[in-house]
Chains A and B, each alone.
Chain A
Amino acid sequence: MFEMNRRTFLKVSTGATAAAVAAPKVLNAMENELGGKDFGPVTMAERQAVPLTCHVCNIQDGAIAYVENGRIVKLEGNPEHVSTRGRLCAKGNSGMWYTYNPDRVMYPLKRVGARGEGKWKRITWDEALAEVTSKLDAALKKDPNSVMMKYGRDRTGGAIGRFMKTLGSNTVVNHTSVCESSKKIGMEPTWGPDIETPDFENTKYILNFGSNIMEAAYFHNPYSQRLTEGVAENHAKLVTFDVRCSNTAGRSDEWVPVFPGTDGAVALALGHVILREDLQDTDFIDTWCNVSTAELKKHYKAFTPEWASKLSGVPVETIERIAREFALTKPATTYTYRGPAKHLYGSYQEKATMMLSIMTGNVEKRGGYCLPRGMGYDQPSPQPPGGAKPSYLSGPSEYPLAGHKVSHMTPLWIAEGKQKINVYFTYMDNSVYTNPGAQALWGKLYTDEKLLPYIVSISTVIGEETALADIILPDCMYLERWEPESMPNSLWPWLGIRQPVIKPLGETRETRIILRDIIHKLDPNGKRGMKQYWNFKDGEDYMRQQFDNIPGLKQAGGVEFLKKHGVWPIYGKLNPRTGKISDNTGREIQAEFGLYMKELSAADMAGASVDGHGTIHKNGKAIGVRRKGKNYVGFGTGDRLINIRVDEWAKYGFNPMPTFKQIPWHKDMKDDELVMTTYKYNVHVQSRTASVKWLAEIVHANPALMNADTAAKIGVKTGDLVRVESKVGHLVTKVEVTEGIHPKTVAISTGCGHWEYGRLSTLNLKSGPEFGGTEDADLKNVWWEDKGVHPNAIIPCVVDPIGGSQGWYDTVVKVTKAGPDDKYGDVVASYEKHLEAAKETMRYAYTGDLHRKMHPEMASWGGPASVKGGGGGGHH
């Protein structure tokens, strides 16, 4: 018998500890499984797992949604996904809040009051489609281009473009100019693709210019994993140039604060030192670039560390040391995101930074600066031909090189009558919040019925922009729709799928179904020739037409395979010991490198010719380049070489070689003036996440970050109110004093300070009309009362005359202690001043009067009249 009192038991049982530790363990916590399965904690039953591609932001992580009793109860990473390897960020984990958001638009709504008054009437889909098509019909009869589509995030796999082509309109405007277009345009003419894929995991040295890789950069989930592995396991050195000590800068070996907009100068000076000290990879430059090492050395002579130091504030010795370290450490890579690119002349800055990887021969090397790997998918046949007439708004003549468009100038150009718009579609966008000028500029455009007579918003929620629409067509959330996906977010290409985890809620419809229904209503019997392009039963059917004939995937099972796994191919298994993907031999999978050095086959060469530069042509296209007697595929440029010199730029009077232009209005800044920059938190995208409670709880306010010395001069401390005044308006916000920012910079994050987008974003629940707020069971737990202040209204339009980007980080402001009449949250900006600023920035376009002044080195250029034909780079 086991007889003893509890105290004795306690005493004697201590002897069991060692044996207990040594005994075999058979039960592991489920979390140790690395995902792929999930169980209800109450029912103990395995939950239904639906793999998909996340779409809270645009990284496109592999995810799994778990469903219990019909509800999506959890999201986690898909362990079969080669890029994200079972990890999902905070935003992805919160994704079901989108679906179940009580502020979602569930029915078509028609405006009944004045625009923005907030008066709506629910109408049926039939009524909505009838109204939209009658407006469309009238607009198409006048001019197909008077139907405009402005989209923010289009992941429909081509449906938006198909819709506009079906209508015959070329007026399609994206959001890319407020995103990263000058980065793309800095890269595309140089080496083909619009982005790089650095091999952080295997590198030894990373020069990071203005990217918050660990928190907010493009592909931050897969990249932060690999960057951490590179730094922690491979002992790579990470050096970050940034105006702000971001979470990435803070975790770097060195954070080098730079004056805003001078990264390019620093990069050129680094290049100068590398070339001066003969540390470049001469063989790579002379073999694979269109400029020789000798030419490059000559060109870089002017970009001395002393010159860059004066501009950027980075000490000469720091530039020299980092240049040597970078050039002498192999492999190494650079990486950039918005920091260098979002300026007037951001394209030059991007070009200057990528040159460091090029001149050191780190391109397409293991641990180096690699080309993106992507996979394509088909488009259903037949495909519409598109509109006959060019559209000014989607291809403004003043910016012929801005292949990703110049969307943020839309208000000015519509106000100036450059193009008449009759029907304006907006899809997954929120320009009234996300663009420069925000409510002051875009809000004015949207409320003016003369400028935009009819606004159709395809949206999931009433955000700042949708609030000003005439009709809202309720789109469904990403967990309820079909979409094809592919993203170059690691060194392994993949195709993915988004599939409905649950049926669309309410009367929401998939985007492509909405568009199809509009076309079918417009052309019910097919006589207008439109219906033929929208011949599919549902989203899944469309998906089959896109995926079922892809070689390899077809054999694996096509859409059925993707429905089961979410991604194709499956490169291996997630190794619980390493957290990396291992193949069936247990070894970690290895990426392929040197893509440009793939040799062309005899079949490829049949009928091909080689020109004097070695470029191989076939059927009127450059298919490769001959080097040292071998025929390689080369790079994705016109001559298949890396174009250090971009002749197309010279055609428009821009410097074709790597260069730097200081922001003219930064030259003579007064002592009390600062440059205002913006940034993004890891839990927020630009505007959509403020309505997600878990994320809003983490970050809901955005004080202005200011250097301690600067704050002392102004006489403010953390928590004090300050007035931030630019040339177009002012705002009043709180200040947070920190050492982690350049003294001449003030930084205010985006993602906060909403005035629409539902109750959580606006915090319209603590006071005023109580309904819909404190009474909600969960929302009464909203403990915070500060929703932040959105800065975009006081940021004027700036256009990079090459890449078309908005100069987000160029705004000069004066920051002062708030006055007695200033209130927290005040945002006052002038429409007229915004228009003036927009006109002013056009003076830097190749057609503008300041273009020559900014390019004295291009004195021999023949002027705008000398230019014939269109621009290059990007996707018109």
Chain B
Amino acid sequence: MTAVLRSAESAEMELTNEELVAECKARANVYRLLAGVFLEEPTAAYLNALRSDEGMAMLQEMGAAFGEDFTAMPLPQLQDALAIEYAALFVVSGGCPAIESVRLHGRLQQQPYFEVREIYQKAGFKVVGARFAIYDDQLGAQLSFVAELLERAAAALGSGDRVGYERLTKEIKRFWALHPGKWVRGYATLLERAAEHSFFREMAKLLGGFAQWELDLLGVRVEDLDGGKLKVPKSEIEYEYDPAEPVCNACDKGRESGNKADEEFSNIDISRIQDRLAGQQTERKG
């Protein structure tokens, strides 16, 4: 994934204007491709495009390793299997709907729903479901929105409107910081674990990787609040302090004689406190 999309160090300054336009369009396409996973059950046209030689090559380059349940299954059966898995993951009770309100608030149609709706409206968009109605803070809608902004950014660059491009880039950054950045990476790891079909599993992986790549590219630092965030192996945690060092005197280790903390405590000068207390008593008596 990162090998193809490159790392965060790839500053836009290195790209020509034409390259930037192309990059915006390419990014918009990836957003749309990912939105297609969530907006509704994968359609035949969508699956055909993905399973075309070109599509498969691109996905492979991005690091997706689909199983035979995706690559070798006849289209009608594949569509059927994916529709069932889609329902189990995103629609049926007990699933994990790809909806920000649910992920971050545990309930449908909460604050994120209204916030993104307002953002879409300000940008001149309204969410209209295709085959089914969808929530404004559904992942597919959020990804589609960024894709639209990227298309606009590409158009702005194409017409020499650098200010417009920068404004749109800021808008995208702001949107990521306020919404997808808060939950998509964690959600992707969750989905990767929950999915039974390799299509959803690999697309979840792709989503997680792409989300981090975008955040790096945009220079947005935002904590993923979704509880499903990656669990970092203990061995990979870098400590800025010695975890073996006692931080209080409550434990036996902290009370060991010769402990530095003990020594420091015994050396604290409390005479000024004693003086103040004595002064107060005098004042009261007076």
Chain A residues engaging chain B, CB cutoff 8 angstroms: 7, 69-71, 97, 99-107, 109, 112-113, 118-122, 124, 461-462, 502, 505-507, 693, 756-759, 762, 764, 769-772, 774-780
Q: Which of B92, B94, B190 contacts A775 (CB 8 A)?
A: B190
User: What's the minimum C-beta distance from B220 to chain A, rounded to whole angstroms?
Assistant: 21
Determine if A764 and B94 form an interchain contact, defined as CB atoms under 8 angstroms apart. yes
B191: chain A residues within 8 A (beta carbon): 771
User: What's the minimum C-beta distance from B137 to chain A, rounded to whole angstroms?
Assistant: 12
Determine if A71 and B94 form an interchain contact, defined as CB atoms under 8 angstroms apart. no
Determine if A122 and B41 form an interchain contact, defined as CB atoms under 8 angstroms apart. yes
Per the bound structure, the CA–CA distance linking A102 and B137 in Å amounts to 13
Determine if A771 and B96 form an interchain contact, defined as CB atoms under 8 angstroms apart. yes
Cβ of B167 < 8 Å from any Cβ of A?
Answer: no
Determine if B110 and A107 form an interchain contact, defined as CB atoms under 8 angstroms apart. no
B228: chain A residues within 8 A (beta carbon): 775
Per the bound structure, the CA–CA distance linking A118 and B107 in Å amounts to 22
22 contacts between A and B (CB under 8 A): A7-B283, A70-B109, A97-B107, A101-B108, A102-B102, A102-B106, A103-B93, A105-B92, A105-B93, A109-B87, A112-B80, A120-B91, A121-B83, A122-B41, A124-B132, A758-B93, A770-B190, A771-B95, A771-B190, A775-B228, A777-B103, A777-B226
A103: chain B residues within 8 A (beta carbon): 93-94
A120: chain B residues within 8 A (beta carbon): 84, 87-88, 91-92
Determine if A109 and B110 form an interchain contact, defined as CB atoms under 8 angstroms apart. no
Closest 9 CB pairs of A and B: A778-B106, A771-B194, A100-B107, A775-B228, A103-B93, A462-B93, A775-B227, A102-B102, A772-B96
4 extra interface residue pairs, beta carbon distance < 8 Å, beyond A70-B113, A119-B84, A774-B227: A71-B114, A105-B93, A462-B93, A507-B133
B56: chain A residues within 8 A (beta carbon): none
Determine if A107 and B132 form an interchain contact, defined as CB atoms under 8 angstroms apart. yes
Chain B minimum-CB-distance residue to A771: B194
Q: Which of B89, B92, B96 contacts A462 (CB 8 A)?
A: B92
Per the bound structure, the CA–CA distance linking A102 and B103 in Å amounts to 9
User: What's the minimum C-beta distance from B193 to chain A, rounded to whole angstroms?
Assistant: 7
Per the bound structure, the CA–CA distance linking A97 and B108 in Å amounts to 9
Whether A102 touches B107, Cβ cut-off 8 Å, given contacts A122-B132, A777-B226, A777-B227, is yes
Determine if A778 and B133 form an interchain contact, defined as CB atoms under 8 angstroms apart. no
Determine if A71 and B131 form an interchain contact, defined as CB atoms under 8 angstroms apart. no
Determine if A771 and B193 form an interchain contact, defined as CB atoms under 8 angstroms apart. yes
Per the bound structure, the CA–CA distance linking A773 and B92 in Å amounts to 14
Determine if A778 and B84 form an interchain contact, defined as CB atoms under 8 angstroms apart. no
Per the bound structure, the CA–CA distance linking A464 and B117 in Å amounts to 35
Determine if B109 and A100 form an interchain contact, defined as CB atoms under 8 angstroms apart. yes
A124: chain B residues within 8 A (beta carbon): 131-132
Per the bound structure, the CA–CA distance linking A701 and B194 in Å amounts to 28
Cβ of B36 < 8 Å from any Cβ of A?
Answer: no
User: What's the minimum C-beta distance from A661 to chain B, rounded to whole angstroms?
Assistant: 44
Cβ of B105 < 8 Å from any Cβ of A?
Answer: yes
User: What's the minimum C-beta distance from A129 to chain B, rounded to whole angstroms?
Assistant: 15
A7: chain B residues within 8 A (beta carbon): 283
Q: Which of B84, B96, B109, B111 contacts A121 (CB 8 A)?
A: B84
Q: Which of A122, A505, A693, A771 contacts B86 (CB 8 A)?
A: A122
Q: Which of B41, B105, B111, B131 contacts A777 (CB 8 A)?
A: B105
Determine if B92 and A69 form an interchain contact, defined as CB atoms under 8 angstroms apart. no
Main secondary structure of the interface of A (DSSP, over half): loop
- Using a CB-CB cutoff of 8 Å, which residues 59-113 of chain B contact chain A? 80, 83-84, 86-89, 91-97, 99, 101-111, 113
Chain A minimum-CB-distance residue to B108: A100
Q: Which of B89, B111, B227 contacts A780 (CB 8 A)?
A: B227
Whether A69 touches B114, Cβ cut-off 8 Å, given contacts A102-B102, A105-B93, A122-B86, is yes
A762: chain B residues within 8 A (beta carbon): 94
User: What's the minimum C-beta distance from A61 to chain B, rounded to whole angstroms?
Assistant: 23
A122: chain B residues within 8 A (beta carbon): 41, 83, 86-87, 91, 132
Determine if B226 and A102 form an interchain contact, defined as CB atoms under 8 angstroms apart. no
Per the bound structure, the CA–CA distance linking A779 and B131 in Å amounts to 30
Whether A121 touches B87, Cβ cut-off 8 Å, given contacts A693-B106, A769-B194, A770-B193, is yes
Per the bound structure, the CA–CA distance linking A502 and B97 in Å amounts to 21
Per the bound structure, the CA–CA distance linking A757 and B88 in Å amounts to 14
Most B CB within 10 A of own CB, among A756, A774, A778: A778
A107: chain B residues within 8 A (beta carbon): 91, 132
Determine if B108 and A118 form an interchain contact, defined as CB atoms under 8 angstroms apart. no
Chain A minimum-CB-distance residue to B106: A778
Whether A461 touches B225, Cβ cut-off 8 Å, given contacts A505-B108, A771-B194, A778-B105, is no
B106: chain A residues within 8 A (beta carbon): 102, 693, 776-779
Chain B minimum-CB-distance residue to A462: B93
Cβ of B140 < 8 Å from any Cβ of A?
Answer: no
Per the bound structure, the CA–CA distance linking A693 and B107 in Å amounts to 10
B89: chain A residues within 8 A (beta carbon): 771
Chain B minimum-CB-distance residue to A772: B96
B87: chain A residues within 8 A (beta carbon): 109, 119-122
Cβ of B186 < 8 Å from any Cβ of A?
Answer: yes
Per the bound structure, the CA–CA distance linking A401 and B111 in Å amounts to 54
Determine if B132 and A507 form an interchain contact, defined as CB atoms under 8 angstroms apart. yes
User: What's the minimum C-beta distance from A69 to chain B, rounded to whole angstroms?
Assistant: 5
Per the bound structure, the CA–CA distance linking A461 and B92 in Å amounts to 9
Per the bound structure, the CA–CA distance linking A569 and B191 in Å amounts to 53
Determine if B108 and A776 form an interchain contact, defined as CB atoms under 8 angstroms apart. no
A106: chain B residues within 8 A (beta carbon): 91
Determine if B93 and A776 form an interchain contact, defined as CB atoms under 8 angstroms apart. no
Per the bound structure, the CA–CA distance linking A120 and B95 in Å amounts to 12
Whether A102 touches B97, Cβ cut-off 8 Å, given contacts A118-B92, A769-B194, A774-B227, is yes
Per the bound structure, the CA–CA distance linking A774 and B225 in Å amounts to 13
Per the bound structure, the CA–CA distance linking A346 and B70 in Å amounts to 61
Per the bound structure, the CA–CA distance linking A120 and B83 in Å amounts to 8
User: What's the minimum C-beta distance from B92 to chain A, rounded to whole angstroms?
Assistant: 5
Per the bound structure, the CA–CA distance linking A106 and B90 in Å amounts to 11
B225: chain A residues within 8 A (beta carbon): 777
User: What's the minimum C-beta distance from B97 to chain A, rounded to whole angstroms?
Assistant: 6
User: What's the minimum C-beta distance from A123 to chain B, rounded to whole angstroms?
Assistant: 9
Chain A minimum-CB-distance residue to B134: A506
Per the bound structure, the CA–CA distance linking A771 and B135 in Å amounts to 20
- Using a CB-CB cutoff of 8 Å, which residues 128-163 of chain B contact chain A? 131-133, 135
A101: chain B residues within 8 A (beta carbon): 107-108
Chain B minimum-CB-distance residue to A782: B106
Per the bound structure, the CA–CA distance linking A774 and B191 in Å amounts to 13
Q: Which of A100, A104, A105, A121 contacts B110 (CB 8 A)?
A: A100
Per the bound structure, the CA–CA distance linking A109 and B93 in Å amounts to 11
User: What's the minimum C-beta distance from A117 to chain B, rounded to whole angstroms?
Assistant: 10
A105: chain B residues within 8 A (beta carbon): 92-93
B41: chain A residues within 8 A (beta carbon): 121-122
A506: chain B residues within 8 A (beta carbon): 108, 133, 135
- Using a CB-CB cutoff of 8 Å, which residues 261-286 of chain B contact chain A? 283
